[in-house]
Structure 1
Amino acid sequence: MALALFKTPEITPPADIEAASLRSDRFRLEREVDWQRLERIVSLLEKNRPRRINDEDLLELPVLYRKAASSLAVARETSLDAATLAYLESLVRRAWFQVYGPRMGMLGWLRRFLGGSWSASVRDIWLDICIALAVMVAGTLVGWLLVARDSEWYYALVPGEMGGGRQPGADRAALMETLEPTQSAEGLTVFATYLFSNNTGVCIMAFALGFCFGIPTLLLLVHNMAVLGAMMWLFAGAGLEWEFAAWLSVHGTTELFAILLSGAAGLHVGRSMAFPGDASILAAASASGKRAAQVMAGCTIMLVIAGLLEGYARQLVPTATGRASIGAVMLAFWIAYFCLMPRPRDHAQDRGDSDEAQP
């Protein structure tokens, strides 16, 4: 019994080790030519030298990749030596990137995105943009009518930190003072960063809530625009409609446009899930989600610009005419960009082969 506790561990016979080594060498020798050919093609592609690859090798690239992937699966199953396994894993990973990976770098993607892909995605969801715009206009009217009927609604709609002296009962001079530009740019960087973060949160919520069939997105748009309607009522009552519109337009034409597109993107996803047509709900959500994600990526750029305009231009430009001019120019720019930018040739082509699992 005591001897059993000190039993000597089993030692693999040298014959078994030699057999495993021979099996691994034979496996590699039978396939090494294809591996080396694949490695040479991949290396040239990684060095951006596709012209040095002949047509036959280029056509054989997918076949060679699948052979290497098959060899990797066999190597893992039969527990071949670690060196062969590591070599195959590296080769297959590199080949996968060349066969199925992205064909352009970050700068190339950004050039293509701003050169028409973003605007094309926006035009693709035109119906959702029309619906979201109608809801935003209705929300503004709701806010105006509520506070016009009972001023107490103003305090329910407009957050306290957003009031800043803008409240029912304030005289014209007090309201006009809230629209005056600052005398210094000190601290505007922090203010612009805060505004960007706040507006980004609204846009993300408008988009994310679209997955609940778009209904929460519509409610969020109504609520946010009701705040604007309440403030418009307040300044209109003091005869400051033009001053307030100019003050708001500096950043509002960009910011509200971004919120509009974010809400439309969320509504696009929700509408495709509610009415998927012949496709399944998951397939419809996936297709619309890719298009909506393109729109949302562009909204981030718009929000950065809106934050800079709100934090700097609105505070430093002293006249209502100057502010309104900035807002009008930005609105014209966005409309022209989204309507006139040509569609990329390959915008509608989805890379279906990229869905294949990476080894």
Structure 2
Amino acid sequence: MKQGQFEQTYQPLWELLEQHIIALESPQHSLSGDELASFASRYRRLCHLHALATDRHYSSHLVDKLGDLVVRGHQQLYRRKQPFMQQLISFVVAGFPRLVRAQQSYIWWATALLYVPGLIIYIAILWQPDLVYTITPPTQVSSFEEMYDPQNRTLGSARESDTNVQMFGFYIRNNIGVSFRTFASGILFGVGSIFFLVYNGLLMGAVAGHLTNAEFTQTFFSFVVGHGSFELTAICISGAAGLKLGYALLAPGNLTRAESLKRASKIAIQLIYGVIIMLVIAAFIEAFWSSNNMLLPWQKYLVGGFLWALVIGYLVFSGRRLDTRLEGKPQ
């Protein structure tokens, strides 16, 4: 079905649901009992319409509009019925991965902006080692060499604190700071998020290339492989949230820029909620597992591979069963 036919057939449904959502968002909603009773079934149909529009690659304006209605409808459907812990579990198990999939175009752009520059500078430094000093100063290069020296009893021992618990707190603060800057700077029409994604990618690639030349690959890659699945993925999602803010300002469509930004922010903030959870997990792994030099490299690679598969599988498959429990499947 072409987009024009799709809109002509189903637009009355989502416009009616949008009116109901607006009414529910007001302090004193005026929906009748029948309208409230039918809200859940209409919302499930909307979720299916959004999934179809995304899968068929309809215009980003239509996909974003339906995605915004899905998020707003979800808030109205569940906020009064579930206690906090149940909402949190529902968000972690289904809401967050579904939201990531709904924003996958931004996710892919952010992933490319992080990894492609990193891979390019990594290869370049393998070929020309002195290029590392164009990315980071000599003192920081020496610090990285000290951190990943195979002679260290504890990997990353040249760091701020002596205990794993203290380092757990340090990693949380540092990682959330990086992700927040990557997200919040998207308000500068997306330029800030692009800068921080590219910069972090270059720094990551430069360090990896230099330590590869220094023959510290075993200590470095066995250290980052475990927590990297959560940390790097969280940075990509943060960047995607920032890019969404920037795009809302650059292409507001028929909305004012303020209203477009407001709607995009509702989705972006929910992405950041999930990012914070991922970064706490990453910090725990980094503090208590990655830095342990008593473990053999193959053990860390095995666990790291499992964690990468876990993160990818979670974002790709978790919550999909909810998508199938829909009433009336549009063609």
Q: What is the TM-score with the length of structure 1 in the denominator? A: 0.61
Q: 1:102: how far off?
A: 3.5
Aligned to 1:44: none
- Fraction of identical pairs, as percent: 24
CA distance in 1, matches of 2:298, 2:137: 27
CA distance in 1, matches of 2:313, 2:205: 27
The correspondence for 1:177, drawn from 130, 151, 167, is 151
Amino acid at match of 1:175: D
Aligned to 1:112: 90
The correspondence for 1:301, drawn from 277, 285, 298, is 277
Aligned to 1:209: 185
Structure 1, 335-344 or 287-296: larger mean CA deviation: 335-344
Question: Is the Cα–Cα contact under 8 Å of residues 144 and 207 in structure 2 kept in the other structure?
Answer: no
SS at match of 1:151: helix
CA distance in 2, matches of 1:301, 1:101: 20
Amino acid at match of 2:255: A
Residues 72-101 of structure 1, C-alpha deviations (whole Å, 9 max, x = no match): xxxxxxxxxxxxxxxxxxxxxxxxxx9x97
CA distance change for structure 1 residues 267 and 110 in 2, over 3 Å: closer, same or farther?
Answer: same
Aligned to 1:333: 310
The correspondence for 1:281, drawn from 257, 275, 278, is 257
CA distance in 2, matches of 1:182, 1:144: 21
Greater CA radius of gyration, 1 or 2?
A: 1
Q: 1:133: how far off?
A: 1.0
CA distance change for structure 1 residues 233 and 105 in 2, over 3 Å: closer, same or farther?
Answer: same
Aligned to 1:352: none
CA distance in 2, matches of 1:140, 1:209: 20
Amino acid at match of 2:284: L
Question: Is the Cα–Cα contact under 8 Å of residues 158 and 230 in structure 1 kept in the other structure?
Answer: no
Structure 1, 109-118 or 335-344: larger mean CA deviation: 335-344
Aligned residue pairs total: 249
CA distance in 2, matches of 1:256, 1:179: 26
**1:211-250 correspondence to structure 2 within 5 Å:** 211-250=187-226
Amino acid at match of 1:331: W
Question: Is the Cα–Cα contact under 8 Å of residues 164 and 178 in structure 1 kept in the other structure?
Answer: no
CA distance change for structure 1 residues 157 and 176 in 2, over 3 Å: closer, same or farther?
Answer: same
The correspondence for 1:133, drawn from 107, 111, 114, is 111
1:189 aligns with 2:165: yes
**1:40-79 correspondence to structure 2 within 5 Å:** 59=33
Q: 1:129: how far off?
A: 0.9
CA distance in 1, matches of 2:104, 2:79: 31
The correspondence for 1:254, drawn from 224, 230, 235, is 230
CA distance change for structure 1 residues 289 and 179 in 2, over 3 Å: closer, same or farther?
Answer: farther
CA distance change for structure 1 residues 241 and 112 in 2, over 3 Å: closer, same or farther?
Answer: same
Q: 1:308: how far off?
A: 0.7
CA distance in 2, matches of 1:210, 1:179: 40
Aligned to 1:199: 175
CA distance change for structure 1 residues 121 and 254 in 2, over 3 Å: closer, same or farther?
Answer: same
SS at match of 1:338: helix
CA distance in 2, matches of 1:159, 1:194: 24
SS at match of 1:176: coil
SS at match of 2:145: coil
Runs of at least 5 residues in structure 2 that lack an aligned partner in the other structure: 1-31, 37-75, 324-331
Question: Is the Cα–Cα contact under 8 Å of residues 143 and 229 in structure 1 kept in the other structure?
Answer: yes
SS at match of 1:290: helix
CA distance change for structure 1 residues 136 and 179 in 2, over 3 Å: closer, same or farther?
Answer: farther
Runs of at least 5 residues in structure 1 that lack an aligned partner in the other structure: 1-57, 63-97, 346-359
SS at match of 2:254: coil
CA distance change for structure 1 residues 226 and 178 in 2, over 3 Å: closer, same or farther?
Answer: farther
CA distance in 2, matches of 1:205, 1:311: 23
CA distance in 1, matches of 2:122, 2:156: 28
CA distance in 1, matches of 2:138, 2:233: 22
CA distance in 2, matches of 1:335, 1:275: 30
Q: CA RMSD in A?
A: 3.5
CA distance change for structure 1 residues 163 and 284 in 2, over 3 Å: closer, same or farther?
Answer: farther
Q: What is the TM-score with the length of structure 2 in the denominator? A: 0.65
Question: Is the Cα–Cα contact under 8 Å of residues 118 and 295 in structure 1 kept in the other structure?
Answer: yes
Question: Is the Cα–Cα contact under 8 Å of residues 139 and 226 in structure 1 kept in the other structure?
Answer: yes
**1:148-167 correspondence to structure 2 within 5 Å:** 149=128, 151=130, 153-154=132-133, 156-157=135-136, 160=139, 163-164=142-143, 166=145
Residues 163-198 of structure 1, C-alpha deviations (whole Å, 9 max, x = no match): 53517xx9xxx8323585489x97110011101100
